[in-house]
Amino acid sequence: MTPAFLTRLLFGAYALALSMTTSALGQDVIPLQVSTSATDAPVIELSLETLDSLDQITFSTTTIWTDGDVQFSGVSLKALLAYLDVDGQSLEMVALNDYAVTMPVADLEDVAPILATRMNGETMSVRDKGPYWVVFPYDSDPKYSTETNYARSIWQLNRLKVVD
């Protein structure tokens, strides 16, 4: 548990409180829950506002699940972990339906994958793979079009857990 992590948690709690009081939009979007493997560590929730406040990455690509070019925007997972200042070997990602996939932190790149908050400029509902979707810029490099990366492209994501 680092002092920086605590600061983030406090900041997160503050942001949550802020969102609950000031943003009507924020109430529609399920917040992202982040936890660590430490037993005494609190689970922090990151709201869409918080995620929007971080550096945004936007790209267009086709996916095997959608038709035509789709524009995604959101936060780089690597940048997100850096922002949260958490250490760990791997990142466990869990969807609303409890689908889970684990990815080594080392595999995270600066720009891929991203935690997409918007598809074609719109936030995503649960009916449409929301609230969050981990996507790669599949068309930019064939290396992203792998079985593993497809498996890691988890949608309806609402929980992240950094484990040692």
Partner 1 sequence: MKAGMNRYRIAVLAGLGLICLLLSFMVTNLLAQLRELSTAASDNTQWSISQLDTELANLSVVLADGLSDPRFSPDDIQLRIDIMISRASIINSGSAAAIFSQDDRAADLIAPINDFVDRAISISDQPGPLTRADLEELRVLVQGVRPNVRETALLGVALGAANAEARRAEFARQLGRTGGMTIGLLLMMGGLLLLLDRMLLRAVKRDAELQTSSKLLASTVAASLDAIVTADETGKIIEFNAAAEDVFGWKRAEIVGQTMEQTFIPERMRDAHHNGMKRYLETDKPRVVGKGRVELTALRKTGEEFPVELNITSIKDRNGTKFIAYIRDISERKINEQKLIDARDRAERTDKAKSQFLAVMSHEMRTPLNGIMGVLDLLRTTKLSPKQDHYTKIASASSEILLEHVNEALDITRIETGTLQLTPQHFDLVALVRSVVDVLEPLAAEKRLSLALDLEDGVQMGFWGDSSRIRQILINLIGNAIKFTESGTVTLKITCIHGPATSSLKFAVTDTGAGIPAEDHERVFEDFIALAHGGGRHSRGDGLGLSISRKIARQLGGDIVLESEIGKGSTFTLNLSLERSAHLDEQPEQRLAAAPAPPCKVLIVEDNDINRRVLEDMLVGLGHEVEVAVNGAESLDKLAVKHFDIVFMDISMPVMDGIEATRELRREDGPNRHTHIVGLTAHGREEYREEAEQAGMDRFHTKPIRIDALQGIISDVTNAAHLPMTGMPNDVLKELADALGPEKLRGICDRFLSELQVLATDLRDGTMADDPTATAEAAHKAKGAAAMLGLTDLEDALSHLEKQARAEGRIDVDRYITQIQQSADSAKAMFDDALKNV
Q: Where are the alpha helices (DSSP H) in 23-105?
A: 48-53, 77-84
Handedness of CA 139, 142, 143, 145 (dihedral sign): positive
Site for partner 1 contains 100 (CB under 8 A): no
Alpha carbon distance 144, 122 (integer Å)? 24
User: Can you read off the two tokens belonging to residue 113?
Assistant: 């994958």
At closest approach, how far in Å is the CB of 15 from partner 1? 23
Alpha carbon distance 143, 13 (integer Å)? 38
Within residues 54-83, the interface with partner 1 by CB under 8 A covers 63-67
C-alpha distances (whole Å) from 37 to each of 97, 123, 143, 149 are: 21, 30, 30, 24
Site string for partner 1, 134-163 (x = CB under 8 A): ----x---xx-xxx--xx---xx-------
At closest approach, how far in Å is the CB of 142 from partner 1? 5
At closest approach, how far in Å is the CB of 24 from partner 1? 18
At closest approach, how far in Å is the CB of 151 from partner 1? 7
List residues near partner 1 by CB under 8 A: 63-67, 96-97, 125-129, 138, 142-143, 145-147, 150-151, 155-156
